[in-house]
Structure 1
Amino acid sequence: MAAHFHCSSNPRPSQPSLLVFSGGTAFNGVVEELKKLTVRVAHVLPVSDDGGSTAEIVRVLGGPAVGDIRSRCLRLADESTSEALAVRRLLGHRLPINPQQAKSEWYKILEGEHSLWEGVSKPYRETIRAFLAYFQNEILRRPNESFCFSNGSIGNFFFAGARIFFQSLDAAIFLFSRVSDIPAESLVLPVISTNDRLTLGCELWVHMTYLANYLSPTGPVVGSSLTRCDLI
């Protein structure tokens, strides 16, 4: 299990402590309500949901899917100052759908020329840009793979750059938590700490016929019975 990460703020002993096992985006609305009750929550999240821009990162660079973790970190991020809001806007930004427009905007962000950097102080700017640049360098080291920036998440790019640099998912979560100033008592933990790609697979019996390793199941198969679900 991953280590506990402490980032900021003072203990709140009067608040209840909770442990939450959940998916990513679908639970974000509940997170907003939980924040009103307590910040003393440990969020245990999957690292196998490789949809959206995460799929492109996993395809080209490998590693676990970080989208759900990035999404939860942003939901827990500090919003009390103008700079905190600026950092959240930057890391929560998605590039345009059009591939050429997305690539053009990505380079503006990478070079520090985009308006999203407004309100981000030099220490934060240099830290975030360093890992975005490392992410870009990792892409360039794979000339046989063409990376598509369409609808790409800047937070995912930052997260992936940190994970590859440190060779540690835990360290990447720690850095993201510090940069986004998540309360010390709010923990974001991967369900399994790994640098390898994980895929959710399941086994189904359909009309008495055995089907193994159905990857990325999106809904029930008529007449099927789920017998086992694994990370593979």
Structure 2
Amino acid sequence: MDTPRPRGIVVFGGGTATNSLVDVFESLRESRNCSLSYIIPISDNGGSSSELIRVFGGPGIGDVRSRLVRLIPDSEADAGRAAIKALFNHRLSSDPLRARSEWLDIVEGRDQLWADMSSEKRELIRSIFNHVNLEIVKRARPSSVFNFAKASIGNLFLTGARVFTGSLESAVYLLSTICAIPSTVSTLPAINSNFTHHICAGLADGSHITGQNAISHPSAPTALPDTRAAADENNDNNDHVLRETEAHDRIEDATLPGSLPSLRKPYIDFSKADADDDDLPARIERIWYINPYGHEIWPLANPKVVAALQAASAVIYSVGSLYTSLVPNLILRGVGAAISNDGPASRLRKKVMILNASVDRETGPLSRPLTATDFVRAIARAGAESQGHFGHQGRDDEVRRYVTHLIYLEGEGVPAVDRDELAALGVDGIRVYGRRTDGVLQYDEAGLARALEAVMGKPEMVRSRRNTSTQ
């Protein structure tokens, strides 16, 4: 019996960076007439998501919303689609009082954002807005009121739909339906959960940084001491943490008493530009999930993520933050095994990393940035940890189980690529040409699409009754 060929494309990636390549992945999907699944982390606790997490709890859904809105099909003839995209991409004013007034205008249907939208969609969307607004009012306390500053309307919708249905995947389904996203493309949260999931970074100097926002943006090490002895060595810092914890415990919100202060702070205002210029104290060695008190946990991946991987002919690690956009997806239980499975069908699978065109705070220090070889080893290590293998993560003889090809650019600021090193790991390096936009090197979409097509080979012909002989 012939081994069934895997079908489908799975793309790992976070928000903005991967959004720029959506058209490339869609053209690849069309040429193969298969499904396309985007795997999105839910560990982001920065921006407007931080306020939703503080008041409602639940997953960080900013990247999920960003991908769903990006996938809305463009149509110059359909003003309604443009209106929906504008609504769910809209952010309220940075002034809290003005933002609250803007929000009420939207809830009551008086804002101009509704002008070109059909009445049935407007009232369906408004029903969710009314629900989340009621929940915000119910949760108001003298010590804690919701801050609407810079709030994402799309994030408020997804949170309202999740709270109303009690299901994250139902909220994603509702937004996908309203946005008329084709059924051939799916956006899958890495974890299907109504709970908040935070990550922690272990640095080479032994310190920890808790929370995705603190990892990606300037922050001092934030983990509580693990033992009383360690606390005694740094009583001043420990006393400060305890005072900060006590202060947060007086605020009634969705966080549990005694939770790490770094996971309870609002992070509405931060600058991504500043983060790239501020090195971490030391290089990141490992990422793991933690509960609100800082203890390591091992969450299960969304079952739909595992199913998509098992059926995929290609797994693509897209551009974006290595340790906060890619690795949080890969260390989940079930993911590493689904990618690296040695079954007959999975041996046909291509596993392609699209290397970032620049280094950032996570892949520095800028004086010693990670190389392409470091990137693929980090992917392999995360896949091994997903399966509970903590002693030999990223081992050279196992790298090809997770990465078979690396696509890269050449230019100033790009991570260094040694093709001989990659070949020794079983990884094929493929150079493509890019273009500079406002001085920033980026992938050329046509060139990247050709490289991906070359890696995956000619599309398999779909058999039909017309070209199938009978005996």
Return the TM-score normalized by structure 1. 0.86
Find the aligned partners of 2:124 and 2:146 in 1 and give their Cα distance.
23
What is the match of residue 145 of structure 2? 146
Count the aligned residue pairs: 214
1:8-87 equivalence runs, <5 A: 17-38=8-29, 40-80=35-75, 81-87=78-84
Q: Is the 8 A contact 2:59 2:193 kept in 1?
A: yes
Q: Is the 8 A contact 2:10 2:36 kept in 1?
A: yes
Residue 118 of structure 1, aligned match among 109, 115, 119: 115
Greater C-alpha radius of gyration: 2
Find the aligned partners of 1:227 and 1:156 in 2 and give their Cα distance.
29
Find the aligned partners of 1:169 and 1:180 in 2 and give their Cα distance.
17
Letter of the structure 2 residue corresponding to residue 22 of structure 1: G
Shift of 1:202: 2.3
Per-residue deviation, residues 186-219 of structure 1 (Å, max 9, x unmatched): 100011100001111122341xxx3356333137
Q: Assess, with a 3 A threshold, how the Cα gap between structure 1 residues 95 and 223 changes in structure 2: closer, same or farther.
A: closer
Per-residue deviation, residues 150-204 of structure 1 (Å, max 9, x unmatched): 1111111111000011111000000000001101101000111000011111223
Letter of the structure 2 residue corresponding to residue 43 of structure 1: Y
Find the aligned partners of 2:114 and 2:8 in 1 and give their Cα distance.
35
Letter of the structure 1 residue corresponding to residue 20 of structure 2: G
Per-residue deviation, residues 10-63 of structure 1 (Å, max 9, x unmatched): xxxxxx842101111221101133334436310000001122111111111110
**4+ residue runs over 4 A deviation:** none
Moved more, 26-35 or 181-190: 26-35
What is the match of residue 172 of structure 1? 171
1:214 paired with 2:210, answer yes
Per-residue deviation, residues 90-125 of structure 1 (Å, max 9, x unmatched): 111111111111111111111000111011111101
1:130-209 equivalence runs, <5 A: 130-144=127-141, 145-206=144-205
Find the aligned partners of 2:24 and 2:290 in 1 and give their Cα distance.
30
Per-residue deviation, residues 112-153 of structure 1 (Å, max 9, x unmatched): 001110111111011100001111111111121211111111
1:230 paired with 2:226, answer no
1:82-121 equivalence runs, <5 A: 82-121=79-118
Return the TM-score normalized by structure 2. 0.43
Q: 3-state DSSP class of the match of 2:127?
A: helix
What is the match of residue 10 of structure 1? none
Find the aligned partners of 2:284 and 2:126 in 1 and give their Cα distance.
48
Q: 3-state DSSP class of the match of 1:126?
A: helix
Find the aligned partners of 2:48 and 2:120 in 1 and give their Cα distance.
27
Q: 3-state DSSP class of the match of 1:85?
A: helix
Q: Assess, with a 3 A threshold, how the Cα gap between structure 1 residues 154 and 225 changes in structure 2: closer, same or farther.
A: closer
Alpha-carbon RMSD: 1.8
Find the aligned partners of 1:223 and 1:142 in 2 and give their Cα distance.
40
What is the match of residue 275 of structure 2? none
What is the match of residue 450 of structure 2? none
Letter of the structure 2 residue corresponding to residue 52 of structure 1: G
Q: 3-state DSSP class of the match of 2:10?
A: strand
Gap regions ≥5 residues in structure 2: 1-6, 218-278, 292-471
Q: Is the 8 A contact 2:92 2:149 kept in 1?
A: yes
Moved more, 90-99 or 153-162: 90-99
Q: Is the 8 A contact 1:20 1:44 kept in 2?
A: yes
